[in-house]
Structures are given as structure tokens and as C-alpha cells.
């Protein structure tokens, strides 16, 4: 014992304390990173879930097993945030996903803000088959925008008047999804940190 | 010594916690994104397989079976099965990416092919050299094609230009005269060629022959455009009797022109029953036809060995019993002529036809070596030639022109052609088939 031991204890305490503080800081950063990851996962999963359903629907636009039953216009209502188009929905008796030959319709609409979530920007994405009730999806969708294009790629202003519905050859869908529960950002108590993921796809209506 | 041990202990704990933290950071977000990319790749592979199957069937129409069994393509696998399903050919192209693993995604393209028919157009013309223009007031709702060109012309004033509500394709570029502003739903395409039919389909049903006695007569039709040879002729009026049977009344003793126009059918004329889904076949005869038809009935005429006959002259409305314009109808009429199909000049159109300045025909019309024409097309009453069905013709002929309003005493017909979309799926008897298969439906389906 002596000075040597005392110096060892003091030195190790200082270095250990510094390391401990570093560790705390590192852990906090890790937690934040993990939170970001988690938000990204949630937002991405929500986007993928929305897109999976929507892709399947839009790829059926104009499809019918009995093609003479399908008639123009395929898109029967076209606005910037809502659309209705003709299709042939899957026949539950067929595993292949083929329809029954009866013309159906699918509608999409961007609904009201979702009040149950902390994110003030997300809105309900509504989907309806034929004349049934609208089903809502609170997936953190903050942008749902539709652009309608002619066969030459020119966009048609929305809402598309009934007389021009026949001109629609492709529909461009843009979706943005944010996490539904953003947390307070360090940049300011009033701002919310959120994760944003986007998806855009051009779908051509089927010309049977 | 104890201090150094404490230091080592803290350092060891830091390393341990770093490892634990690193293990807790998942790659779910990346996996999620990767799954979507994999599904997109699987979709591309399935579509590529569908295109490959189409190409292979183009060269070998009888190709059937499991032609690709999970073969490697673009880092994934492709599986293609071609089989007959009823009267159609089903092609199932399955794309998988990657070939295995937890993120494997599978997409399927299921499409059907069927025999192609020439009634896929509202007007299909093999040789339209632009002599007969599409002009003011003309409308075509359905695909229009010419293996030559199409001419667009107009008459003075800001009148309605010819309107085309579906695809317009030609082999050579369109001819559009100065000041003409045709209305196209889709931009017209040139450089497109469609093989034209050379013969009617083989007669699957035994033809129903109307009588056996022939009569010689002469008519000049089409305002001098068409000179019918001295040919035998028969006049037919189709109707459905009170018991719902398809009947035809006919005579052969020449035209009976009256104030009511052609026909003037009498109760003393021969009446015969037409078999359901029947074909009325008259070789070497010019056939005059009108009336109402149920189920599937086609009237076919071809010239005899000396080239006489083979023209079909429509003397009044030819309508389905169940109106196909109002929705579904089981009735399909074929007006099939080796030479021309001529709208006869009835002398008093409004009295004999539908009474609304319309001459109405619900039929698939084929003029294999001739064209659709109207007799006296410039001097007859101004009406709408209201054809609901399809027109397949070798050459374009005149039916009327000018800017006179409907009801004028001259000017002939303005074209009001509408495609019968039932013809995408069903057809009149004897309608010629194309040498190529045509797409019936196309479906993209997510398997996993």
C-alpha cells in the first residue's frame, strides 16, 4: 500500500468513470438508432402491406375472364385522391386468383385524418369492392395521389371528366407512409421526428 | 493491481454490451425492402416467361405441356405450362426470385389465347387507297384498320369532324386534308399490317338452301360503282313467328319495287323455317335480305363458276331479335358475301326502315373481295348508316357524303358504326379466323 495504490484507485476511478459516461452516451445513441430502426420497420412494413394489396388490385384493372363483358371506359371515376375502375375480382372457388367473368369494380379513396394516432399527417386509405362498404386502413399513409395518363404519356387534369375517361391508358400511383407514432425531436419540442417512405408505380390498364 | 483489474472489468463489460447491442439491431427493415424487390423481380421473370411462351407459340401453335420446368432465369426460376382449357389455351408463367430461401417470392401470369377472328374491328379494310374519305359527321366506335391508308376529309364550316373512339391503325400514314380535324381517342398508328381473310370458315353446319329455282335479273348498284352481273337473285325476309321460330319468307321472281321499296313480300310467298344456329347459303345468287333474326344465323353467298352472284343486298333493317345494343343478346348475325354487301336503295327509306332516319344493321359484315357500299349513295335520302357489329372488306366503297343535315333528300349515308364488343368473345357463324391466336385475358397473381 502507499501512494502507488492510492494513485491506482484514483486513476482507475477516473478512467472507469469516463468509460462509464461514454458507455451511457453510447447506449443512449444505440437506443435512438434502434428507435429509428423500429420506426423504419413499421413504416416500411405498413407501406409494403398497403402496396401489396394495391399492386394486386391495380394489376387487375380491366381484367375479365370473359373479355366481352368488359367495356370501356375501364376507369369509371378518376380524381386526384380517389379512383374507381372495372375488374373481375378473384373467384373464391379458384386457387389461381382468376375471376368469375362478372365485371366488378374497385374503388380507392383518401379519407379523413386519423385522430387515433400521434402523427397529425396520416389519413385513412379507403378501399371498396363494388357497392360494398369502404374498408379503412390506418397505416400512416400521408400521401395518396393519382395521375392519369393518355396513351402518349400526356397527363389528364384531375378530376377527369366523364367524356375523357376513355382516354386513360395508365394510372400513376404515389404513396407516402410515415410512422404513426413519431417522437419529439431534439431539434425542438414542437417538432416531431418521423420516418418517411415513398412508393410510386405506373400501371397500365389491361386491354383485353 | 486491483485498479488495473477494475479497469479491465469495465473494458470487458463495454465490449460485452457492444456485442449485445449489435445483436439487438435487426435488419428487418432491409429484409422488408428486399422482399419487395424480390417480388418485383419475380413479377418481371413471370412476364418474361409469358412473352417467351407467346413467341414460342407464334412459331409452333401446337406447343403444349410443361415447357419450362423451374429453369434458371435472371437469378430466379421460370416455370411455364401451356394447356388447353375448353376452347382456349391457358398459359401459366410462374416466376420465382430468388430460387430458394426465406425471402423467396413467387408471381404468376395467367393468360388465355383463343382463335383470332376478323371481326375484332369495327372496320377492317384490306385495300383502302384513300379514294373514299372518312368525313364530316362520320363516327366509328371501335378499332379501325386499313392495310393501305385512310383519308380524312371535311366539308365547309365548323362541322363535326370524323370521330374515332378506339384505335386507328394503318399500314401507310393517314391522309388528312388541310383544315380537317379528325377526333382520335388514341393517336393513330401507321406501319401496322393485318393479314386479310382469304376464305370463309368451313361450313360446320349443313347449309340451309332456300329453294332450288333460280331467276335471272340485272341491277346496277352503288351509283355506278358496282355493276351486278345478270345474276340469279333471291329476296329473303327473316322474321320470328308467334311461336318463337326463326322463319324466312322468300321469292325469286325479280324485284318488286313499290313505294315501300324493295321486297313487298306477300302472304303467298314461300315461308320456310330456318334451323336454329343455321346458315343460309346461296351460291351463284345475289341475295336480298332484311328482317329480324334470333340465335345465330349467317347468310352466305358466293359467285358461281361464271362469276355471277356473290353479292348481298340489304333492303331494310337487319336486326337481332334481342337488341345487343341494350346489353347481352344471344343473337349473332353474319352477312357474308364473296363480293359486295350493298345497302339497297329502298326508294323510301323513312317508311321502310326504323323511322328515325336510320338504316340499322346488327351484324358482322364481310365482303371478301369487294366492299360495303350503298346504292345511289349521292342521290338517296340523307340518313345514318347505323351498323352495330363489324365490317370486314377488301376495298372501301362509298355510302354517302356531304354536309347536308339528316333528312335531306340527297347526300346518302353518314357513317355511324359501332363495334359490338360481344364479338371479342363470340362470333357469327362462318366468320373467318385469323392465322394467329389472340389474347383473351391477362392476369397477374401473387402466389407467395
Closest CA to B360 of B376, B382, B383: B383
Q: Which residue of A has its CA nearest to B112?
A: A65
> Measured between alpha carbons, how far is B403 from B136 in angstroms, rounded to an integer?
7
Min Cα separation B266/chain A (Å)? 40
| Stretch among B147-151, B327-331, B343-347, B357-361 having the lowest mean pLDDT | B343-347
* Region B346-375 average pLDDT: 77
Q: Is the pLDDT of residue A6 over 90?
A: no
Quote the CA–CA distance of A82 and A158 in Å, as a whole number: 10
Positive or negative torsion for Cα A181, A187, A191, A194? negative
Looking at the complex, does the CB of residue B103 fall below 8 Å from at least one CB of chain A? no
Mean of all residue pLDDT scores within chain A: 84
pLDDT above 90 (res B50): yes
C-alpha B190/C-alpha B158 separation (Å) is 27
Q: For residue B23, what are the CA distances in angstroms to A29, A30, B19, B26? A: 15, 11, 6, 7
Which chain B residues are closer than 8 Å to A67 by Cβ? 424-425, 440-441
Is residue B412 within 8 A of residue B399, CB to CB? The reply is yes
| Residue B91 pLDDT > 60 | yes
Q: Is the pLDDT of residue B95 over 90?
A: yes
**CA distances to A29, B159, B245, B411 from B181, in Å:** 68, 10, 48, 21
Q: Band of the pLDDT at B224, cuts 50, 70, 90?
A: very low
Q: Does residue B426 sit at the A interface (CB-CB below 8 Å)?
A: yes
- Residue B49: what are its φ and ψ, rounded to 5°? -60, -40
Distance CA B147, CA B192 (A): 7
**Residue B421: is its pLDDT beyond 60?**
yes
d(CA A97, CA B110): 9
Buried b (16+ CB within 10 A) or exposed e, B265-278: beeebeeeebeeeb
Sheet (strand A123-129) strand order: A75-78, A82-87, A104-113, A123-129, A135-137
Where does the pLDDT of residue B328 fall: very low under 50, low under 70, confident under 90, or very high at 90 and above? confident
Q: Is pLDDT above 80 for A189?
A: no
Alpha carbon B217 to chain centroid, angstroms? 35
**Rounded-to-integer distance, Cα B135 and Cα B161, Å:** 6
pLDDT number for residue A87: 94
pLDDT at B69 exceeding the cut of 90? yes
Measured over the CA atoms of residue B131, residue B134, residue B137 and residue B142, the dihedral's sign is positive
- Return the higher-pLDDT residue of B394 and B344: B394
In A, which residues are within 8 Å of B446 by CB distance?
Answer: 52, 56, 97
pLDDT in tens, B260-299: 455 668 888 888 888 777 777 777 788 889 999 998 888 8
Tell me how crowded residue B164 is: count the other CB atoms within 10 A of its CB: 25
pLDDT average, residue stretch B62-67 = 93
Q: What is the C-alpha R_g of chain B?
A: 31
Q: What is the pLDDT of residue B424?
A: 79
Contacts of A30 in chain B (CB under 8 A): 21, 25
In DSSP notation, B155-185 reads -SSSPPPPEE-S-EEESSPPEE-TT---EES
Contact B318, B411 (CB under 8 A): no
Q: Which of A19, A30, A40 sits opposite B21 (nearest CB)?
A: A30
Predicted local confidence at residue B125, as pLDDT: 95
The pLDDT assigned to B363 comes to 97
In chain A, residues with a C-beta closer than 8 Å to the C-beta of B32 are 41, 44-45, 48
For testing the chain B interface, which of A59, A64, A168 should be mutated: the one with the most B CBs within 10 Å?
A: A59
The beta-carbon neighbor of A12 closest among B6, B426, B443 is B6
- Highest-scoring range by mean pLDDT, A132-146, B15-29, B352-366: A132-146
Q: Is residue B213 predicted with pLDDT exceeding 70? A: no
**Nearest neighbour of B187 by CB, restricted to A12, A72, A151:** A151
pLDDT at B231: 56
Mean pLDDT, to the nearest integer, of A41-63?
Answer: 86
Q: What is the DSSP letter of B288?
A: E
A143 CA to chain B: closest CA distance, Å?
19
Task: From chain B, pick out residues whose CB is under 8 angstroms from the CB of A195.
Answer: none
Q: Is the pLDDT of residue B226 over 70?
A: no
Nearest to A152 among B1, B18, B187 (CB): B187
Residue B261 to residue B324: CA distance in whole angstroms? 27
Mean confidence (pLDDT) of chain B: 82
**How much helix, strand and coil, in percent to the nearest 5, is found in chain B?**
15, 40, 40
Residue B321 has pLDDT above 90, yes or no: yes
Which has the higher per-residue pLDDT, B46 or B327? B46
Helix (H, G, I), strand (E, B) or coil at A119: coil
| Residue B249 pLDDT level (bands cut at 50, 70, 90) | confident
CB-based contact B425 A68, cutoff 8 Å: yes
Residue B320 has pLDDT above 90, yes or no: yes
pLDDT range class, residue B21, cuts 50, 70, 90: low
User: What DSSP element (H or E) covers A4?
Assistant: helix A3-58
Determine the longest span between alpha carbons in chain A, in angstroms. 101
Highest mean pLDDT pick, A8-17, B192-201, B275-284, B328-337: B328-337
Domains of chain A: which residue ranges?
Answer: 46-204
Q: What is the ipTM of this complex?
A: 0.76
List, for residues B145-199, the tens digit of each pLDDT value: 999 999 998 886 666 789 998 889 999 999 999 888 898 888 898 998 888 888 8
Tell me the chain B residues in contact with residue A27 when contact means C-beta distances shorter than 8 Å.
17, 21
Phi and psi, residue B128, nearest 5°: -105, 105
Residues of B73-82 as b/e, b for ≥16 C-beta within 10 angstroms?
Answer: beebbbbbbb
pLDDT top residue among B96 and B3: B96
Task: Specify whether the CB–CB gap between B339 and B313 falls below 8 A.
Answer: no
Provide, as residue numbers in chain A, all residues whose Cβ is less than 8 Å from the Cβ of B187: 151-152
pLDDT tens-digit map of B362-374: 999 999 999 999 8
Alpha helices in B25-76 (DSSP H): 28-59
Greatest mean pLDDT range, B296-300, B365-369, B406-410, B430-434: B365-369
* Of the listed ranges A177-186, B61-70, B380-389, the one predicted with least confidence: A177-186
* pTM for this prediction: 0.69
Q: Do A97 and B1 touch (CB under 8 A)?
A: no
Where residue A99 falls (left for φ over 0; alpha for ψ -120 to 50; beta otherwise) is beta
The answer to whether the Cβ–Cβ distance between A66 and B425 falls below 8 Å is yes
Half-sphere exposure of B235 (CA within 13 A, CB side): 20
* Long-range CB pairs of B215-220, under 8 A, 24+ apart, other chains included: B215/B252, B215/B253, B215/B254, B217/B254, B217/B255, B217/B286, B219/B255, B219/B286, B219/B313
Q: Which residues contact B351 (CB under 8 A, 6 or more apart)?
A: B259, B260, B261
Chain A CB within 8 Å of residue B37 CB? no
Give yes or no for residue A56 having a pLDDT over 80: yes
The candidate with the shortest Cα–Cα distance to A99, out of A141, A62, A154, A148, is: A62
pLDDT tens-digit series, residues A75-94: 999 999 999 999 999 999 98
- Residue percentage of chain B with pLDDT more than 90: 34
User: Is residue B6 within 8 angstroms of chain A, CB to CB?
Assistant: yes
- Per CB-CB distance under 8 Å, the chain B contacts of A5 are 2-3
Q: Quick one: pLDDT at residue A181?
A: 78
Amino acid at each position: 500500500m502507499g501512494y502507488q495504490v492510492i494513485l491506482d484507485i484514483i486513476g482507475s476511478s477516473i478512467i472507469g468513470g469516463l468509460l462509464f459516461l461514454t458507455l451511457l452516451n453510447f447506449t443512449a445513441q444505440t437506443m435512438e438508432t434502434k428507435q429509428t430502426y423500429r420506426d423504419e420497420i413499421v413504416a416500411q412494413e405498413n407501406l409494403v402491406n398497403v402496396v401489396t394489396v394495391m399492386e394486386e388490385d391495380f394489376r387487375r384493372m380491366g381484367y375479365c375472364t370473359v373479355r366481352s363483358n368488359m367495356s370501356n371506359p375501364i376507369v369509371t371515376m378518376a380524381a386526384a385522391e380517389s379512383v374507381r375502375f372495372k375488374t373481375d375480382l378473384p373467384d373464391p372457388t379458384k386457387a389461381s386468383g382468376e375471376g368469375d367473368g362478372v365485371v366488378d369494380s374497385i374503388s380507392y379513396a383518401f379519407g379523413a385524418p386519423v385522430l387515433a394516432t400521434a402523427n397529425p399527417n396520416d389519413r385513412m386509405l379507403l378501399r371498396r369492392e363494388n357497392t360494398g362498404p369502404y374498408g379503412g386502413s390506418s397505416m400512416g399513409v400521408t400521401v395518396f395521389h393519382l395521375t392519369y395518363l393518355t396513351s402518349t404519356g400526356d397527363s389528364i387534369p384531375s378530376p377527369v371528366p366523364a367524356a375523357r375517361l376513355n382516354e386513360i391508358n395508365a394510372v400513376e400511383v404515389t404513396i407516402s407512409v410515415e410512422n404513426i407514432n413519431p417522437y419529439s425531436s431534439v431539434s425542438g419540442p414542437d417538432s416531431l421526428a418521423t420516418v418517411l417512405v415513398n412508393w410510386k408505380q405506373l400501371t397500365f390498364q389491361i386491354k383485353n | 493491481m486491483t485498479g488495473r483489474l477494475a479497469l479491465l472489468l469495465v473494458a470487458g463489460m463495454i465490449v460485452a454490451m457492444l456485442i449485445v447491442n449489435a445483436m439487438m439491431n435487426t435488419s428487418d427493415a432491409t429484409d422488408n425492402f428486399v422482399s419487395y424487390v424480390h417480388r418485383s423481380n419475380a413479377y418481371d421473370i413471370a412476364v418474361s416467361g409469358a412473352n417467351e411462351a407467346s413467341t414460342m407459340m407464334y412459331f409452333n401453335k401446337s406447343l403444349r405441356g410443361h415447357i419450362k420446368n423451374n429453369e434458371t432465369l435472371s437469378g430466379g426460376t421460370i416455370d411455364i405450362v401451356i394447356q388447353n382449357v375448353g376452347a382456349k389455351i391457358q398459359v401459366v408463367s410462374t416466376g420465382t426470385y430468388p430460387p430458394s430461401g426465406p425471402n423467396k417470392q413467387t408471381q404468376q401470369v395467367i393468360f388465355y389465347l383463343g382463335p383470332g377472328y376478323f371481326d375484332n374491328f369495327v372496320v377492317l379494310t384490306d385495300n383502302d387507297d384513300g379514294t373514299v374519305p372518312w368525313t364530316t359527321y362520320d363516327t366509328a366506335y371501335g378499332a379501325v384498320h386499313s392495310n393501305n391508308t385512310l383519308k380524312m376529309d371535311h366539308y365547309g364550316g365548323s362541322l363535326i369532324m370524323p370521330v374515332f373512339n378506339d384505335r386507328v391503325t394503318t399500314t401507310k400514314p393517314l391522309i388528312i386534308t388541310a383544315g380537317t380535324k379528325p377526333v382520335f381517342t388514341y393517336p393513330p398508328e401507321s406501319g401496322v399490317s393485318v393479314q386479310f381473310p382469304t376464305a370463309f370458315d368451313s361450313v360446320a353446319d349443313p347449309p340451309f338452301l332456300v329453294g332450288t329455282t333460280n331467276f335471272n335479273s340485272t341491277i346496277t348498284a352503288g351509283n355506278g360503282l358496282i355493276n351486278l352481273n345478270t345474276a340469279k337473285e333471291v329476296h329473303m325476309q327473316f322474321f320470328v313467328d308467334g311461336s318463337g321460330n326463326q322463319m324466312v319468307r322468300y321469292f325469286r321472281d325479280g324485284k318488286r319495287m313499290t313505294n315501300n321499296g324493295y321486297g313487298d313480300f306477300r302472304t303467298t310467298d314461300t315461308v320456310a323455317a330456318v334451323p336454329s344456329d343455321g346458315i343460309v347459303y346461296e351460291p351463284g345468287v345475289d341475295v336480298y335480305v332484311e328482317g329480324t333474326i334470333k340465335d345465330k344465323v349467317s347468310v352466305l353467298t358466293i359467285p358461281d363458276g361464271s362469276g355471277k352472284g356473290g353479292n348481298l343486298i340489304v333492303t331494310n333493317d337487319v336486326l337481332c331479335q334481342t337488341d345487343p345494343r341494350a346489353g347481352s343478346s344471344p343473337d349473332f348475325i353474319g352477312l357474308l358475301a364473296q363480293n359486295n354487301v350493298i345497302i339497297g336503295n329502298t326508294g323510301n327509306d323513312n317508311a321502310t326502315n326504323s323511322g328515325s332516319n336510320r338504316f340499322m344493321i346488327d351484324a358482322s359484315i364481310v365482303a371478301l373481295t369487294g366492299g360495303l357500299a350503298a346504292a345511289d349513295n349521292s342521290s338517296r335520302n340523307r340518313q345514318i348508316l347505323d351498323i352495330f357489329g363489324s365490317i370486314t372488306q377488301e376495298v372501301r366503297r362509298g355510302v354517302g357524303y356531304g354536309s347536308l343535315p339528316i333528312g335531306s333528300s340527297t347526300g346518302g349515308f353518314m357513317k355511324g358504326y359501332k363495334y359490338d364488343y360481344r364479338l371479342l368473345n363470340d362470333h357469327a357463324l362462318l366468320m373467318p379466323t385469323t392465322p394467329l391466336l389472340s389474347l383473351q385475358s391477362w392476369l397477374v397473381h401473387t402466389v407467395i
